[in-house]
Chain A
Amino acid sequence: MNRRTPIATGSDWNFEVLEAYEQELARLADEYRLDTYPNQIEIITTEQMMDAYASVGMPVGYHHWSYGKQFLAVEQAYRRGQMGLAYELVINSNPCIAYLMEENTLMMQVLVMAHACYGHNSFFKGNYLFRTWTDAGSIVDYLVFARKYVAECEERHGVTAVEQLLDACHALQNYGVDRYKRPSPISAEEEARRQKEREEYLQAQVNTLWRTIPGRHDGDSLPGSLAEEEDPLGLHSGERYPPEPQENLLYFIEKNAPLLAPWQREIVRIVRKLAQYFYPQRQTQVMNEGWASFWHYTLMNRLYDEGLVDEGLMLEFLQSHTAVVSQPGFDSPYYSGINPYALGFAIFSDIKRMCQEPTEEDREWFPDTAGSDWLDTIHFAMKNFKDESFIQQFLSPKVIRDLKLFTVVDDDQEELLEVAAIHDERGYRRVREMLATQYALAVREPNIQVYSADIRGDRSLTLHHIQDNRRPLARSVYPVMRHLHQLWGFPVKLESLHDDGSVARRYHWPLPDEEGDSR
């Protein structure tokens, strides 16, 4: 191998050096067929990093106190030294924006470029969830639109009114996701233009829904609207509305809440859209971080092999890399759940190993993977899975053994916990299945759906919670229902159902004895 002289040594960096490394990384990434959006690498200060953090990685965002809280929390943790600021923050946009902190050493900057600009970036561009549900090209535009719109509303309707509305929407934002319909990408101007049309149209639709005069309505059909949108789900047939349970609570509210003003509907929509944007990220944490870690490890090693970085930098890198992908045991004081970096990195590395040096066990467990072309296989894995299915598909007995994974069943009807499976021949499959389930969004979050809206009676809204293994809702259900009640404007009921469909518990808001002072 022709060893060249390192591009730079020591820990200081400058723009020329970064550019030189970036070019080398780009060359290597190309070798590995990493397909990325153009990179926009921004050098920022610590304070700016904290700002970026506080806005959950959105380069522009509307104003809300919760981001201020987030900022204060980050600042506090950082000042106390509890938390190093993440050295990277990358935004799923086109071009892909990655932040580098100026305090980082040269090694860190190169590492972050490899991790974020080629790892995460190619994941954003390649993974099916991101391809389906987010549009990297328009997100920044949409954020700008959202910020402007919210600011405008604040001017017109007062900061408090907007804040309360946003509080309520934020409480429900995890239930503002469309899991089946793909949103269409549009630009900011387009969004602003459509917003006006939508405002009028939506209001008209809601009015139709809540019209109390029975009878046919075909005279006032709106231009361009479909007949079934006029009478969205057969509300004049006297059946339950909506006929099918709705999982997207915010969407249902945006379209159906009787008392919301047009601007309020638009804000509900903004929160919903942003929740949708973050939805793939919530489902691909292990994969995303694992993929990025796998590539920063691979690329850094290549740089070293080619002599572009020196031993000092490499040692510093290994130390940092080891810290990132370490997985403390469940009984360690440092344990805080499974480290997605560690798990993801272990699985991707193991796929490569299985392809290159398959063992008998691998051939038995992964006949398709073992011995195949490793680059093809990990690209395939990156593109077509989310955490749940990725673990189900690729978690090998070896990784289970390495991490010494075991499952414990905690049943409140039993006095003792039971170890259900460990890393042995009998347990591999069950551990894998349980771990995959643990990452299923449906299991992590309670399954709550809109069951019915009493459009002919007291206008109350009924939700159903379908219990997963008898797990009840946490007490936070009451404040959330209060928020929901604010949006809906009429009483809200929540029925928690057993697996067999019988009602385990009912929640009401407003609380029955306070009904007098509700509106």
Chain B
Amino acid sequence: MTYFIDRRANAKNKSAVNRQRFLDRYRTHIKRSVEEAVNRRSITDMERGEKVSIPTRDISEPVFQHGPGGKRTIVSPGNKEFVEGDRLRRPSGGGGGGGAGEGGASNQGEGMDEFAFTLTREEFLDFVFDGLELPHLERKNLVDLDEVRPVRAGFSRDGVPSRINIVRSMREAHARRIAMRAPIRRALREARQALEEEESKDPVLRNPARIAELKAEIERLEQRLEAVPFIDTYDLRYNNLINQPQPSSKAVMFCVMDVSGSMTQAHKDIAKRFFLLLYLFLERSYEKVELVFVRHHTAAKEVDEEEFFYSRETGGTIVSSALSLVDEIVADRYPPSQWNLYVAQASDGDNWDDDSLTCRDLLVKSLMPRVQYFTYVEITPHAHQALWEEYETVADEFPDQFAMRQIVEAGDIYPVFRELFKRRAVQ
């Protein structure tokens, strides 16, 4: 008796829970590996999983075992030249010939020092962004928001015909008809009664003038009754819509980078990684993230990604050119009421002498009130210059929205990123 069952359509992630348990248990180990990986990885490379290694001794499941020593007899196959009584040197390392034939059993390979496995992309990113939060997302007050969504809110007396609520309108009409017809009906009833009385009298006593009068009255009342409209504009009710402000689910990220002669390719790589982390991070929090690349030397220009990272240009540095371009772009295309604005700027700190003050003004007056968060990373091993100092005053003024850090080498990126976006205690 044999049955064939096609299980291929069944869920394949039977081990998902166990896998998660394992990841949770070795969180700290994995996190360390992930951090190393982020620093080591090439830039285009964030979109895949990661191989993680954990020292085997940390995850071993101990059982009672024989240790080395004592007297053991090992049977092995494949004898070529040995004869009984031969004496051999101990092979260096390993217990010589291996123990009992374990074959397909699930022994975990004693000799391996590292237990290696691969995280999926999602798991990897979860670890990368674990404990980080988007700054000030919640601060964005609903009142400020222009982005609205119409929602139903009761009924109103005016509106467009397409929104007429028929049931409500008919009910109103019905009520009005009852109200308007009641006095007429009463008068009619009285008139008819009077007429009946009059007509039931003895013919001699009848008053023909009165009868004619009553008949006329009845006819007039009947006409009035007829004239009460079945439905009136007054009865109409419309489904009411009001506009409710919505938190925006769109974000735009401005990548601003100095491409002057002083920025080497290594600097740009570092900057790129920083931008990339930020982008991945935003992408996890918003439905839609747009990227705007602004590069500048003495003049700023909006470019595409390719050009942003790889084309070469030289020249002096005027940082304010980039900031004012960002300002313009925001005004043109990204109204702050609809977009969450993030700016990430990378530079080596060089700037035209008196330009730094202009930058400060631009930030304080125009940009900072509008952006969610502004990060500035300075990629330089050298001492800070005027730009850093000016930015420090901005940071003092907007401590929650403005963050700046120095990066010396690629290894600093991730720690700096974590520090910039680490979850703050609820204030």
Q: Which residues of B contact A289 (CB under 8 A)?
A: 103-104
Contact-size category for A: 35 or more
| Complex CA–CA separation, A519 to B4 (angstroms) | 55
With both chains docked as a complex, state the minimum distance between the C-beta of A488 and any C-beta of chain B, in angstroms: 15
| Complex CA–CA separation, A467 to B229 (angstroms) | 109
A-B pairs with CB below 8 Å: how many? Answer: 302
The 8 A CB mask of A42-78 against B (1 = contact, 0 = none) is: 1111011011101110000001111111111101100
Judge if B86 is at the interface, Cβ distance under 8 Å.
yes
Judge if A9 is at the interface, Cβ distance under 8 Å.
no
Q: A54-B15, A72-B117, A469-B72 are in contact. Are A64 and B78 (CB under 8 A)?
A: no
Q: Which residues of A contact B103 (CB under 8 A)?
A: 285, 289, 336-341
Chain B minimum-CB-distance residue to A406: B79
User: B64, A405: Cβ atoms under 8 Å?
Assistant: no
Judge if B179 is at the interface, Cβ distance under 8 Å.
no
Which A residues, 81 to 110, have Cβ-Cβ distances below 8 Å to chain B? Answer: 86, 95, 102
Which A residues, 395 to 414, have Cβ-Cβ distances below 8 Å to chain B? Answer: 403-413
| Complex CA–CA separation, A435 to B76 (angstroms) | 9
Judge if B63 is at the interface, Cβ distance under 8 Å.
yes
User: A471, B22: Cβ atoms under 8 Å?
Assistant: no
| Complex CA–CA separation, A23 to B303 (angstroms) | 69
| Complex CA–CA separation, A468 to B72 (angstroms) | 9
| Complex CA–CA separation, A409 to B71 (angstroms) | 7
Judge if A483 is at the interface, Cβ distance under 8 Å.
yes
| Complex CA–CA separation, A438 to B108 (angstroms) | 20
Q: Which residues of B contact A54 (CB under 8 A)?
A: 15, 18
Chain B minimum-CB-distance residue to A15: B4
| Complex CA–CA separation, A434 to B5 (angstroms) | 45
Which B residues, 47 to 74, have Cβ-Cβ distances below 8 Å to chain A? Answer: 51, 59-74
The 8 A CB mask of B1-27 against A (1 = contact, 0 = none) is: 111111110101111011111111100
User: A68, B84: Cβ atoms under 8 Å?
Assistant: no
- Set A18, A44, A73: member contacting B117, Cβ < 8 A: A73
Contact-size category for B: 35 or more
User: A416, B88: Cβ atoms under 8 Å?
Assistant: yes
Judge if A448 is at the interface, Cβ distance under 8 Å.
yes
Judge if B106 is at the interface, Cβ distance under 8 Å.
yes
Q: Which residues of A contact B13 (CB under 8 A)?
A: 47, 51
Judge if A174 is at the interface, Cβ distance under 8 Å.
yes
Chain B minimum-CB-distance residue to A86: B104
Interface SS of chain A: helix, strand, loop or mixed?
Answer: mixed
Taking each of B4, B63, B88, which has the highest tally of chain A beta carbons within 10 Å of its own beta carbon?
A: B63
Chain A minimum-CB-distance residue to B76: A330
Judge if B333 is at the interface, Cβ distance under 8 Å.
no
Which A residues, 339 to 366, have Cβ-Cβ distances below 8 Å to chain B? Answer: 339-341, 343
Judge if A479 is at the interface, Cβ distance under 8 Å.
yes
| Complex CA–CA separation, A470 to B67 (angstroms) | 10
The 8 A CB mask of A421-458 against B (1 = contact, 0 = none) is: 11110110001001101110001111010000000000
| Complex CA–CA separation, A55 to B104 (angstroms) | 15
In the complex, identify which listed stretch (A33-41, A138-146, A302-310) lies at the interface while the others stay far away: A33-41
User: B76, A117: Cβ atoms under 8 Å?
Assistant: no
Judge if A229 is at the interface, Cβ distance under 8 Å.
no
User: B15, A68: Cβ atoms under 8 Å?
Assistant: yes
Judge if B85 is at the interface, Cβ distance under 8 Å.
yes
User: A471, B88: Cβ atoms under 8 Å?
Assistant: no
Q: A26-B2, A439-B100 are in contact. Are A48 and B8 (CB under 8 A)?
A: yes
User: A18, B1: Cβ atoms under 8 Å?
Assistant: no
User: A472, B3: Cβ atoms under 8 Å?
Assistant: no
With both chains docked as a complex, state the minimum distance between the C-beta of B414 and any C-beta of chain A, in angstroms: 24
User: A70, B78: Cβ atoms under 8 Å?
Assistant: no
With both chains docked as a complex, state the minimum distance between the C-beta of A59 and any C-beta of chain B, in angstroms: 9
Taking each of B4, B10, B77, B98, which has the highest tally of chain A beta carbons within 10 Å of its own beta carbon?
A: B77
| Complex CA–CA separation, A68 to B115 (angstroms) | 13
Q: Which residues of A contact B117 (CB under 8 A)?
A: 69, 72-73, 75-76
Judge if B424 is at the interface, Cβ distance under 8 Å.
no
Judge if A332 is at the interface, Cβ distance under 8 Å.
yes
- Set B8, B21, B22, B64: member contacting A102, Cβ < 8 A: B8
With both chains docked as a complex, state the minimum distance between the C-beta of A349 and any C-beta of chain B, in angstroms: 16
Chain A minimum-CB-distance residue to B64: A446
| Complex CA–CA separation, A477 to B4 (angstroms) | 46
User: A69, B59: Cβ atoms under 8 Å?
Assistant: yes
Chain A minimum-CB-distance residue to B20: A68
In the complex, identify which listed stretch (A163-171, A218-226, A263-271, A375-383) lies at the interface while the others stay far away: A163-171
User: B84, A424: Cβ atoms under 8 Å?
Assistant: yes
Interface SS of chain B: helix, strand, loop or mixed?
Answer: loop
Q: Which residues of A contact B77 (CB under 8 A)?
A: 327-330, 338, 403-405
| Complex CA–CA separation, A70 to B60 (angstroms) | 11
With both chains docked as a complex, state the minimum distance between the C-beta of A328 and any C-beta of chain B, in angstroms: 7
Q: Which residues of B contact A332 (CB under 8 A)?
A: 78
User: A45, B84: Cβ atoms under 8 Å?
Assistant: no
- Set A68, A434, A472: member contacting B67, Cβ < 8 A: A472
Judge if B97 is at the interface, Cβ distance under 8 Å.
yes
User: B98, A337: Cβ atoms under 8 Å?
Assistant: yes
Judge if A418 is at the interface, Cβ distance under 8 Å.
yes
Q: A67-B18, A68-B22, A339-B101 are in contact. Are A469 and B3 (CB under 8 A)?
A: no
User: A329, B12: Cβ atoms under 8 Å?
Assistant: no
With both chains docked as a complex, state the minimum distance between the C-beta of B35 and any C-beta of chain A, in angstroms: 20
With both chains docked as a complex, state the minimum distance between the C-beta of B55 and any C-beta of chain A, in angstroms: 13
Q: A15-B4, A407-B73, A480-B63 are in contact. Are A417 and B118 (CB under 8 A)?
A: no
| Complex CA–CA separation, A291 to B88 (angstroms) | 36
Judge if B75 is at the interface, Cβ distance under 8 Å.
yes
With both chains docked as a complex, state the minimum distance between the C-beta of A149 and any C-beta of chain B, in angstroms: 16
User: B70, A434: Cβ atoms under 8 Å?
Assistant: no
Chain A minimum-CB-distance residue to B72: A410
User: A76, B118: Cβ atoms under 8 Å?
Assistant: yes
| Complex CA–CA separation, A163 to B64 (angstroms) | 20
Chain B minimum-CB-distance residue to A436: B75
User: B78, A412: Cβ atoms under 8 Å?
Assistant: no
- Set B1, B71, B116: member contacting A410, Cβ < 8 A: B71
User: B84, A419: Cβ atoms under 8 Å?
Assistant: yes
User: B62, A63: Cβ atoms under 8 Å?
Assistant: no
Judge if A511 is at the interface, Cβ distance under 8 Å.
no
Q: A64-B18, A417-B87, A434-B75 are in contact. Are A22 and B2 (CB under 8 A)?
A: yes
- Set B3, B62, B71, B99: member contacting A337, Cβ < 8 A: B99
| Complex CA–CA separation, A470 to B118 (angstroms) | 42
Q: Which residues of B contact A479 (CB under 8 A)?
A: 60, 62
- Set B61, B76, B101, B106: member contacting A56, Cβ < 8 A: B106
Q: A69-B115, A340-B103, A404-B78 are in contact. Are A471 and B3 (CB under 8 A)?
A: no
Q: Which residues of B contact A424 (CB under 8 A)?
A: 83-84
User: A422, B79: Cβ atoms under 8 Å?
Assistant: yes
Judge if A331 is at the interface, Cβ distance under 8 Å.
yes
User: B21, A163: Cβ atoms under 8 Å?
Assistant: yes
User: B73, A470: Cβ atoms under 8 Å?
Assistant: no
A-B CB proximity, top 3 nearest: A329-B78, A68-B22, A471-B70
8 A–B contacts from the bound complex (CB under 8 Å): A71-B19, A329-B79, A406-B79, A408-B74, A416-B88, A434-B73, A444-B99, A445-B64
